[in-house]
Each structure stands twice: as C-alpha cells, then as structure tokens.
Amino acid sequence: MDDGGKQLPAWVIWQSRPFPDANLLLLHGRQPALVDSGFVGHAQETAAWARAHTGRVALVVNTHWHSDHVGGNGLLQSMGAGIAASAPDAQAVARRDPGCCLAEYLDQPVSPYTVDEPLHDEQVLRLGDADWTVVHTPGHTPGHLSLWQPEERLLVVGDALSDYDVGWVNLALDGPDAATTALASLHQLADLRPRLLLPAHGPLPADPSAAFAAAIRRAQRLVDDPAGAVWYGARRIFAFALMIRDGIPADTVEPYLHARAWLTDAARLLGRTSEALAAELVDTMLRSGAIVLRDGRLYASSAHTPVAAATLRVPFPRDWPATAPTGTEAAAEPT
C-alpha cells in the first residue's frame, strides 16, 4: 500500500500513478470496487494490479469521464465488472453521444463501455464492505462526483483538487460559470472536514485543510480571470496530448493544434485566431519549460508513463457499438 503513512484503513489500497493515469484506489471486501480505471494505454496493467490485490473487481466507479479515468472500463467490464458513473454521464454513454468522455473533442482515446449503474447526489453506495455517499461536485466536468465515507472520514475528490492543483474548467462547453461552479464544489467538500483526501492525481495531501485552502485560492483565480482559466485548460490539454503520443514532431505540432476543436474554442474565447493561439501556446510552454524540444520532437516535461502507440487505436464514441436499451429506456421503446 502506497499511502504515505496517512493511516488508511486496511480495506483501502491506494497507489499514486503519474500521468496519463489516475491514481489507483481499490476498496476490497464483499463488493470489491475500483475508483477510476486510468488511461486506455495502461488498461492491462490496471486490470492486472486490481486482480493481484483482490482477485476480481465487482464495480468500477468513475469520478468523471475523462480519458485518464475511464480508459480501463471496457477491459474490466469484459472481465465481469460493472461500471457506475454519474447519471448525466451514464445517459450520454447509453445514447452513444459523440461528445462522450470529450474523447473526440480532446483527441484522447477511450475504449467503448457501458454504464450499469447511474449515480445520483446523496446516493449511498456499498463499496468493498463500507457505505460511501455520492457527492455531486460539478465544475471540472458537469457530471463530476466525489465519494464520502463518513465513519473513516475519507473523501475521494477525483479532479476537484489535488495537493498541488485544481482541475481545469471548460468555459467553452460548460459555460462562463463553470469556474464558479467548481469553486462552490470545493467549498462543499471542505465543509465535510475529511480526515484524509484521496485525489485522482498526485500524493495524499498531508493536511486536508491546507490543501482545501490552497485549492480554493487557485479556483478563485480561475473565477476572477476567465482568460487565465482558458489558458490553463489549453496548457493542460496540450501537455496531455504530448504525453500520450510520446511527443509530436515540432514541424507538425501547429497543424495538429489547428485541427483541434478545443483549441478553436479557446481561440474564440481569447479573441485570437487558431493559428495565433497555437503558435503562442507552443512558444509560452517552451519558454516556461512545460514542454521541451528534443531531437526534433516536442515533449511534455512533467513526469509521465510512456504509452504504446497501438493502444491509442480505438474508435471515437460516435463509432462505438450501439447498446441495447435497458430499464426505463427499454420501457419507452415503441411496440
């Protein structure tokens, strides 16, 4: 157990992972559950780790649907695991909405999966041998959720915050109030006064109160500076693209960026052309050291695990196989 000495219960197994994966969080017991499943490029490793620790995974719970959190869903589901996710995400996945997971929008591959259990705010969910309360915490995504275990005072926060950062917000897709919504979610989580924070990225914070105070300050800056929030998101998305592709040739990176929907939206919000924003993004990130030029390729400088190129070859959600309607959807089908 990689818990940094933070006194996790014996039934919680936690391990920090570098990008492009979310951290591993396994809750074992009669209903062994994995919270988030990492990036598709490392799905086999995620499944093997879970099997080694618990033998089987009964349920995968997604804090939200970005590629670094749902990439192992398809494989684990094929091995018998159910998938639980927020109701808005579940409904879009069931429809095979082209916008699912923002996979095509962000150019981040996600293997096909279905959601077996839609989750709602304040729902009590049995994970392992403990009851957890679902807490709807929109902001980073509209369907983002956290998980609260009141007896042990454990709080799973997904990408709402980490020990060093807050999740980026998408003002183009989610509206100008997305940063304000994310800030409100942080206050809601801080009011729970957790003993331990379990973030999706980075180490376990040594002091949850201090982590919340720092995150709230960062989130307030995103509210106060919408242009800065757009830039923050663009830098994060571009760095992730470099991580999962083992860099991009320097002479093709700007055409790559020009073709991305997220960059087009960012340029519109910033009052620039896509071409101007792409050039400025590369230049500023090179000068800051966030990306580096080596042997004619641009790489992300942050620590990350290499990804095999073949694992990226999965269809976008618009081409996922259709799913049979179930539950209320089946009842609504014409006869």
Q: Return the residue matching tokens 């902001």.
A: 139
The one-character DSSP state at 97 is: -
Position 335 scores a pLDDT of 25
What are the residues facing 248 on neighbouring strands? 298
Vertex 181 angle, CA 178 and 185, to 5°: 140
Architecture label for domain 12-224 = 4-Layer Sandwich (3.60)
**pLDDT at residue 6, as a whole number:** 65
Is there a contact between 158 and 142 (Cβ–Cβ < 8 Å)?
no
pLDDT of residue 38: 98
- Residue 321: predicted pLDDT: 96
Provide the pLDDT for residue 2: 54
pLDDT at residue 334, as a whole number: 32
CA distances from 217 to 9, 139, 187, 297, 299 (A): 30, 15, 11, 35, 30
Residue type at position 324? A
pLDDT digits (tens, 9 = 90+) for 204-263: 999 999 999 999 999 999 999 999 999 999 999 999 999 999 999 999 999 999 999 999
Tens digits of residue pLDDT in 159-175? 999 998 999 999 999 99
Instruction: Give, for 69, the enclosing helix (H) or strand (E).
Output: helix 67-70
210 close to 197: Cβ distance less than 8 angstroms? no
Task: State pLDDT tens for residues 173-194.
Answer: 999 999 999 999 999 999 999 9
Token output for 288:
């800051």
pLDDT category of residue 333 using cuts at 50, 70 and 90: very low
Q: One fold for both 12-224 and 226-312?
A: no
Q: How confident is the model at residue 325 (pLDDT cuts 50, 70, 90)?
A: very low
Please say if the pLDDT value at position 123 is more than 80: yes
Measured in residues, the chain has a length of 335
The whole-number pLDDT of residue 323 equals 79
Measured CA to CA, the distance from residue 218 to residue 164 in angstroms comes to 10
Boundaries of every domain in the chain: 12-224, 226-312
Tell me the per-residue pLDDT of 49-80, one tens digit each, with 9 for 90 and over: 999 999 999 999 999 999 999 999 999 999 99
Residue with tokens 């087009």: 264
Task: Tell me the per-residue pLDDT of 79-116, one tens digit each, with 9 for 90 and over.
Answer: 999 999 999 999 999 999 999 999 999 999 999 999 99
Give the integer Cα–Cα distance in Å for 67 and 142: 15
Topology (CATH level 3) of domain 226-312: Arc Repressor Mutant, subunit A (1.10.10)
User: pLDDT at residue 1 above 70?
Assistant: no
| 8-state DSSP, 10 | T
Other C-beta atoms closer than 10 Å to the C-beta of 314 total 17
